[in-house]
Structure 1
Amino acid sequence: MQLRPSCECCNRDLPPSAAEARICSYECTFCAACVEDRLHGRCPNCGGGFMPRPIKPSAMLTRHPPSTERVFNSQSCTEPA
């Protein structure tokens, strides 16, 4: 799992321990507020639903570090067609 560092919609930081991180089956990453308030539970990239992103134990982050690639597209803040 990539553990992307930010919300693709609002660019909010989502560290590996963020309980408010949500992902779809393709690991598109958004914050809970954007998923609920702007996207209404549907991924704008693939149309799938979201689930809470699992929190990787901190001891495993050294061996399997989170991604540093920020994916930000403010146009993704609209509902999927």
Structure 2
Amino acid sequence: MTDPTTDPTTDPPTDPSTDPTTDGAPPAPVDPADIDDAGLDALEADLATIEVAMERVDSGDLEGYGSVAARLDEGSSGAPD
């Protein structure tokens, strides 16, 4: 005989994705004001530098490209600020 308190037909298991007491609970919403934009700002600055370098190459100014590329290399150490 089965225990009626644990019988899946009378007490189906709780879906972990909807039960906030389980580890499978969805994460709490993040407030956009809490997000650190420093990484995004650095990427935008690198993109702007790359665009300038591409313009120099398009205009045939390879020396200008070299100086812009050197600036990009100096500014991106690979480590987060």
TM-score norm. by structure 1 comes to: 0.22
Larger relative contact order (CA 8 Å, sep ≥ 6): 1
Higher strand share: 1
Higher helix share: 2
Q: Which has the larger radius of gyration?
A: 2
